[in-house]
Structure 1
Amino acid sequence: MKFNFTIPTDQAPLTVKNLLETQWLVPRKVRHFIRTRKSFLVNGKAVHFQTLVTPGDHITLTLEDSDYPQRVLQLGDPQRVHVLYEDEHLLIVNKPAGIKTHPNQPKETDTLLNHVAAYLAPKQLQPHVVHRLDKETSGAILFAKNQFVLPILGRMLEEKEIYRRYQALVSGKITHDLVIDKKIGRDRHDRRKRRIDEKGGRSAVTHVRVVTATPTKSQLICQLETGRTHQIRVHLASMGHPIIGDPLYGGKPASRLMLHAFELHLVQPFTRKKISVTAAPGLF
């Protein structure tokens, strides 16, 4: 793999070592290979790891396949991939409801990851999951197109630099916007479920904006501050407003779970380009 970068204008000068280690999170073993192979070029020339790189410098980085070994992944159907955004490193697709994000068994072929793998196979690339959506949830989901960018996106997710907004249709009337700040843990009686657990759970914060409300149902926009399993579903159910179509948490029957990842926003980590996608048509 050969990558070309131009150091952005807002990047402070730093050494090659620091760029690879602290900014790009390249593992120590791979950094050693890059140094011994002299495969990091600045403006076309091999440099020492203590060399400063500055805004405007052109970087060429060559990695061997053995630096990041690929795993075996069954190929699905590329025709089932609806691309919302794509560049050299990132891929955002619109996930349908009723399909898993990734396989749990080695021979599975009918998950979104399998289908995206088939889409990228002609380019000799393999996708990597950055975050997941529940099987019943639809909408925008981000994949890394190589293992080089994967830890960078993972850190962005942890540091809340990837913003996701969801549409939800819930039972009952919610009259005002709110922030739900309740810890979430595993349900000891049902391994499929999560529950509010203020003592042993993990911190979970969901911002809720009311779009419309009637006496029987409300249309909401939910933004995640954290990304716990089933977070929006558990939080809304805990307020007495389960998502319609969610039998796991007491929602009224419907054709599907009425939860859709409508928007995804982030800054491309190498170019600093702002990326905003909308997974239309959505629920409302």
Structure 2
Amino acid sequence: MKISFFKFQGTGNDFVMIDNRQNNFPKENTSLIEKLCDRRFGIGADGLILLENDETDSNLAKPTDFSMIYYNSDGNQSSMCGNGGRCIVAFAKMLSIIDNETTFLATDGLHHASMLENGIVSLQMKNVAEIKIENDYVFLNTGSPHHVMLVNDLENYDVKKNGASIRYSELYGKEGSNVNFVKQLSENHFALRTYERGVEDETLSCGTGATAVAIAMHAIGKTNAHHIYLDVEGGKLEVSFVKDGNNYTNVFLKGPATFVFEGEIAW
């Protein structure tokens, strides 16, 4: 079997991207997906993304341009990936499927996105209505579930050990949660490090995690800003939103989506 692929990254969160509009990729082969994502014996990535035709959009006023199917590096299909969402927009642009504006379908619903200057992609995320605020953490779902907590000495924090402890705790059961550790830098500027379920390690960036941190910090009063700057290990992201009663709407994640290389792998 030969597989043509493209490699993209968004602030260090990297993905194997495959054009599967002809439905040739064996999606049920989780071991193959896991091997393709393996950094020693495969291509190497935090996840694999299939770009497919959306077969469910016939009743929409404006048809979608494509659908996004996302798999974690463990080979299992997963929930929404914000950095992956931005990367698939750049991928669709490379394939001449879109120009600079798009609407596409992901596991958590429809997403609108825009290609901006210098490879920056602005991606609309889902609205957030339910936020669980506890004494030492916040939990919310921004397309994927996220545990958010402020910590001291973020630079030296053991993200993998402490993240795994929370991810596998009774708090979240078998499904688990992504875990974000946060440090406030200024009124509207935060740094974060993320432990991602499915990768089962720290990643250089997590788009839904950055979105969750921005909303969580606003929800607990750490910032009054509606435009938040976020430093992740792999670069910088921005999140903006509108607070409408108890709801967070018009949520946008903005940052770079970069083509790395393309190739063909025999398996």
- Relative contact order (alpha carbons < 8 A, sep ≥ 6): 1 or 2 greater? 2
- Structure 1 length normalisation: TM-score? 0.27
**Higher gyration radius (CA):** 1
